Amino acid sequence: MFATQVVGGVNHLVRRLPNGAIYALGALPFVWLVWMVVTGGLGPDPVKEVERRVGLWGLQFLIAALAVTPARRLGFNLVRIRRALGLLAFFYIALHFVTWVVLDMALDWGQITSALWKRPYILIGFAAFLAMVPLAVTSTNGWIRRLGPKSWQRLHRLTYAVGIAGAVHYLLLVKVITVEPLIYAGAVGALLAVRLTPKARQSQTA
């Protein structure tokens, strides 16, 4: 009974929540981060801290977007906010990339190119970011009509590849494997496993 009330309450809230409010809530971490930068609250290496935090937020929003379809099995109807979650993931991951290129590498393209080839985790992260670009561009209803629902769905299955790449990027990035990156990798793996079950393949429409 309590679980049913929780599911109903969440679904009711999602239906009533304006789209603008979803993006506003998703932008709060960014606003807080800007405040921390201005007030000097990010420690001795603020660039690395910004880079790390926006990357993690991007991965978190991506995992949340991936969880929308499996959540249907539990009765949660979160499809309405999936687009916003995906675009927020792209925003933070793009900010992660821009921070690295502009602030960390100082637009030194020779050093950037060298880092891409010498450090596998950077190349994997860059590939994931590039894969997200067409997903963000085609996230509108207009693109769904242009591509057709089936082609659009096939394209947006790239989201799972992006999620795997993001989790691997994080695992390879840390010098010592801790619980946190393993949790993210496990979450992505679990969501992918749920989607690949025969029942899920038959029932999923997105």
Average pLDDT over the chain, rounded to an integer: 89
CA distance 82 to 62: 10
Given a cut of 50, is residue 206 above it in pLDDT? no
CA distance 186 to 167: 9
Segment 99-110 mean pLDDT: 95
CA distance 13 to 11: 5
Given a cut of 80, is residue 2 above it in pLDDT? no
Residue that wins the pLDDT comparison between 6 and 54: 54
Say which DSSP state 72 is in: G
Where does the pLDDT of residue 205 fall: very low under 50, low under 70, confident under 90, or very high at 90 and above? very low
Given a cut of 80, is residue 150 above it in pLDDT? yes
φ, ψ of residue 95 to 5 degrees: the values are -65, -35
Segment 15-32 mean pLDDT: 91
Q: pTM for the full model?
A: 0.91
CB 31 within 8 A of CB 96: no
Q: How far lies 179's CA from each of 93, 106, 144, 186, in Å?
A: 22, 32, 39, 10
CA distance 166 to 111: 22
CB 194 within 8 A of CB 200: yes
